[in-house]
Amino acid sequence: MQRFLGQSAVVTGGASGIGRAVAARLEREGARVCVWDRRFLTLAAADDGRLHISVDVTDAQAVNLAAKTTLDWSGRIDILVNSAGITGPNAATWEYGLEDWRRVIDVNLTGLFHCCRSIVPAMRAEGYGRVVNVASIAGKEGNPNASAYSASKAGVIALTKSLGKELAGDGVVVNAVTPTAIKTDLFDQMKPSFIDYMLSRIPMGRFGEVDEAASLICWLASRECSFSTAAVFDLSGGRATY
């Protein structure tokens, strides 16, 4: 299947986890993919039809430069998948460190805003675009001892709804996914007790797989997703109740 043939995509946080699986699937289905991730050591490097850019999404100027570099390379951006994110520490709200709070909000919410703000004008100019934001079931329910993460993902859901409505007449659709825990290297940032708590909330009794997330995200990034915008799609193994 080559449903993304001739299209160009940006995947933030694409060096690992859900972002990496999404980038691989988009590429496999014909897209030219640019991966933005702060883990890359070189500023920008092209390799077999893929472009890697080292960028910290919390830095608005760096994001603007990455967008310009991507457009110079690809000519257009049809798809933006905002997957960059961190969990932050697990602590009660009244014990949560101020710098930890700021960092989680900056990466998960403000960083996503920077990326949308930088890329959406190019999509509007083409009259076509797909934006998929990776939120979390925590943004709907609020996980205990994860106030910053939960608040940031709730913000992603609200931003998705606002932006989707703003772009509803422009050929650009904007949706969010709200996965429950997907087993990635983000688990390394969590306490074992918190991981056990998350598993206990999933009726299917298992964590999600990155390929399951990539499958849903790539549908939302495709032309097939033509009448859903400002919407939220669950990926929770039965946990979600609304």
> Is position 63 within any domain?
yes
Q: What is the set of active-site residues?
A: 149
Q: How far is CA 213 from CA 27, 65, 188, 231, in A?
A: 16, 29, 19, 16
- Give the domain range for residue 20: 8-234
79: helix, strand or coil: strand
> Is position 241 within any domain?
no
DSSP letters, 182-218, are B-SGGGGGS-HHHHHHHHHT-TTSS-B-HHHHHHHHH
- The rounded distance, in Å, linking the Cα atoms of 194 and 235 is 19
**Two structure tokens written together for 210:** 């990155």
- The whole-model pTM stands at 0.94
The pLDDT of residue 41 is 77
> Is position 159 within any domain?
yes
pLDDT in tens, 214-226: 999 999 999 999 9
Based on the structure, what is the number of domains in the chain? 1
204 Cβ neighbours under 8 A, 6+ residues apart: 237, 238
Positive or negative CA dihedral for 63, 164, 101, 209?
negative
> Is position 46 within any domain?
yes
Residue 155's CB is within 10 A of a number of other CB atoms, namely 18
> Is position 28 within any domain?
yes
> Is position 240 within any domain?
no
pLDDT in tens, 25-61: 999 999 999 999 998 977 777 776 799 999 999 999 9
> Is position 3 within any domain?
no
The pLDDT of residue 46 is 75
Residue whose token pair is 């990466």: 107
62 Cβ neighbours under 8 A, 6+ residues apart: 55, 56
- The rounded distance, in Å, linking the Cα atoms of 51 and 69 is 10
> Is position 242 within any domain?
no
- CATH code at position 95: 3.40.50.720
